[in-house]
């Protein structure tokens, strides 16, 4: 039976928390892996959900997407990203545009979920960036957002 695959990139854990929540709500066989350690075959999966954090305008899982573009463009792929800049902000739109067009235009769905910044975990460089951009140290993680992904997938007939 074709299975579901969830791949993620998360630096400080909030994206991984969303992934755990999502996996609990998806019924049936579901493989979860950090995209950077994934060694399976993408062709073995009927549905591929990608979840990624965003740093300095870059959706972290974009490198994986670019590397596997030829296979991914023929698969059913859903993407959600996590960050503190709202989805309708121009900066968020620009981050999304960095995804190769063949993949971007073929996505089953795309959503951006609110993230978290915990100053005590950040390195010196990241702290400097935040100071310069005057970004707020916030925890906006909201697991109920995961319901939106579930609804999207149900509408597509994949759950």
Dist CA 75 CA 44 (whole Å): 10
Dist CA 130 CA 120 (whole Å): 13
User: Which residue in 3, 11, 20, 75 binds ligand FMN (CB under 6 A)?
Assistant: 11
- 68-127: contacts with ligand FMN (CB under 6 A): 82-85, 92, 115-117, 122, 126
Dist CA 126 CA 145 (whole Å): 26
Asked if 35 interacts with ligand FMN (CB under 6 A), we say no
Asked if 145 interacts with ligand FMN (CB under 6 A), we say no
Asked if 55 interacts with ligand FMN (CB under 6 A), we say yes
Dist CA 122 CA 40 (whole Å): 32
User: Which residue in 10, 48, 72, 76 binds ligand FMN (CB under 6 A)?
Assistant: 10
Report the residue number, 121 or 154, with the smaller CB distance to ligand FMN. 121
The neighbour count for residue 129, using CB atoms within 10 Å, is 14
Measured over the CA atoms of residue 40, residue 41, residue 45 and residue 49, the dihedral's sign is positive
Q: Which residues bind ligand FMN (CB under 6 A)?
A: 10-15, 53-57, 82-85, 92, 115-117, 122, 126, 129-130
């Amino acid at each position: 039976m074709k299975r579901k695959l969830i791949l993620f990139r998360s630096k400080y854990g909030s994206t991984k928390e969303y992934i755990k929540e999502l996996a609990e709500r998806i019924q049936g066989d579901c493989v979860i892996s950090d995209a950077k350690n994934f060694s399976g075959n993408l062709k073995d999966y009927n549905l591929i959900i990608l979840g990624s954090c965003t740093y300095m305008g870059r959706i972290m899982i974009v490198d994986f997407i670019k590397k596997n573009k030829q296979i991914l463009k023929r698969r059913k792929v859903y993407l959600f990203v996590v960050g503190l800049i709202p989805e309708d902000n121009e900066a968020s739109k620009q981050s999304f545009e960095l995804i190769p067009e063949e993949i971007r235009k073929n996505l089953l769905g795309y959503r951006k979920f609110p993230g978290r910044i915990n100053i005590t975990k950040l390195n010196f460089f990241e702290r400097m960036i935040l100071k310069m951009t005057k970004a707020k140290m916030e925890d906006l993680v909201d697991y109920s957002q995961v319901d939106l992904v579930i609804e999207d997938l149900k509408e597509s007939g994949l759950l």
